[in-house]
Amino acid sequence: MLSTKQFTTVSNGLLVRAPAKINLSLLIAGKRPDGFHEIETIMAKVDLFDQILIQPGQRPGIELLCTGPHWAPQGKDNLIYRACESLMNSCHSVADIKITLTKNIPAGSGLGSASSDAAAALIGLNKYLNLRLPKARLAELAAPLGSDVPFFLNGPLAICTGKGEKIKKLNQNFDFLAILLLPDVTVPTKKVYANYKDNAALYQNLKAQINANIEKCRIDLISRMCANMLELSCFGLYKQLRRLKAEVELLGIRPLCLTGSGSAMFSIINERNKEKTGYYQRQIQEKVGCKSVIVTNNRW
């Protein structure tokens, strides 16, 4: 499989790609004293990218422009801005930079795009300004930005625990081809967690199965479990997503798994059959009317 590079040097700057992720599993161990939930998730990067172009600025400080087919917050409300500001302040670096975000990954989809953008900004600006900060230092800057940001500094396949910030890289190979559904539904993560009802018995059962499959190096079996403990909460709030899953699975595209807190869903085609995957994608468009893209696992 050919892999798109993370960095591309342009005439006066650096283009950085920020990949989406999918949750191959997502377990909730319970609520923590700090109000967050303790999670155990296996995440994999896929080759659907936002793009961040870093160039010399024409005005003092950080200038952030957002473009592309999907919405992104502007200015200091964007994690990219906060990541760049944090990095430069920590190094006492003074530079005028212009950042252009091309938003290809929809927000509120469970694909981690804002977190990936923040991580890409840290990595890219470190390279662009030749700061030479080690990954450990970037990880320290990443943690306050969001629970998923540290994962995007690592990967491409990892077990994430705690709030999601504790990363254990999986060195197992898991090459896959998948159909990724992108419903026109924005799902706030906080809302799904607030609606979540704890299920300790389910957690223990799924954890045992997942650990057994990890020991056997069978990530493929984990992906087919569709073990996402936020699905019930998400579908309870957004019943159109429950109906969408049922309609797509009736086409023979199964199992169809929710990623993160939703709204995106994916189905891994174990045979890596591009012709079959293309046929499924056409069926989804013609019979269900939902946008989808074909993705593979990312290599970095």
Give CATH for domain 177-296: 3.30.70.890
Q: Which residues of 208-234 are buried (b: 16+ CB within 10 A; e: fewer)?
A: eebeebbeeeebeebbbebbbbbbbbb
Tokens for 268, please give them. Answer: 């891994």
pLDDT, tens only, 20-44: 999 999 999 999 999 999 999 999 9
Q: What is the pLDDT of residue 1?
A: 47
Task: Identify which of 290, 297, 276, 298 has the alpha carbon closest to the alpha carbon of residue 109.
Answer: 290
Q: What is the pLDDT of residue 274?
A: 87
Half-sphere exposure of 57 (CA within 13 A, CB side): 16
Model confidence, pTM = 0.96
Same fold, 7-169 and 177-296: no
Largest Cα span, the chain:
57
Task: Identify which of 46, 20, 22 has the alpha carbon closest to the alpha carbon of residue 222.
Answer: 22
Domain limits, the chain: 7-169, 177-296
Q: What is the pLDDT of residue 2?
A: 54
Q: What is the pLDDT of residue 147?
A: 94
Task: Identify which of 114, 137, 109 has the alpha carbon closest to the alpha carbon of residue 22.
Answer: 109
Task: Identify which of 36, 99, 45 has the alpha carbon closest to the alpha carbon of residue 72.
Answer: 99
Q: What positions carry a catalytic annotation?
A: 21, 148
The CATH number, out of the four listed (3.40.640.10, 2.40.30.10, 3.40.1030.10, 3.30.230.10), of the domain defined by the range 7-169:
3.30.230.10
DSSP H helices in 143-250:
149-152, 189-195, 200-215, 219-225, 231-237, 239-250
Q: Which pairs count as long-range contacts for 34-39, CB under 8 Å and 24+ apart, including other chains?
A: 36/147, 36/163, 37/163, 37/193, 37/196, 38/161, 38/162, 38/163, 39/160, 39/161, 39/162, 39/163, 39/164
Task: Identify which of 279, 280, 199, 284 has the alpha carbon closest to the alpha carbon of residue 233.
Answer: 199
**CA angle 30–31–35, rounded 5-degree value:** 165
C-beta separation of 38 from 164 below 8 A: no
- CA–CA separation, 106 and 269 (whole Å): 23
Q: Does residue 181 sit in helix, strand or coil?
A: strand
pLDDT, tens only, 140-185: 999 999 999 999 999 899 999 999 999 999 988 899 999 999 999 9
Please give the helix or strand (H or E) that residue 116 lies within, else none.
helix 113-128
Please give the helix or strand (H or E) that residue 29 lies within, else none.
strand 13-31
Q: How far apart, in Å, do the first and last CA atoms of the chain sit?
A: 13
Tokens for 43, please give them. Answer: 């995440």
- Residue 60: asked if its preceding bond is cis (omega within 30°), the reply is no
Q: What is the pLDDT of residue 291?
A: 97
Low-confidence ranges of the chain (pLDDT < 50): 1
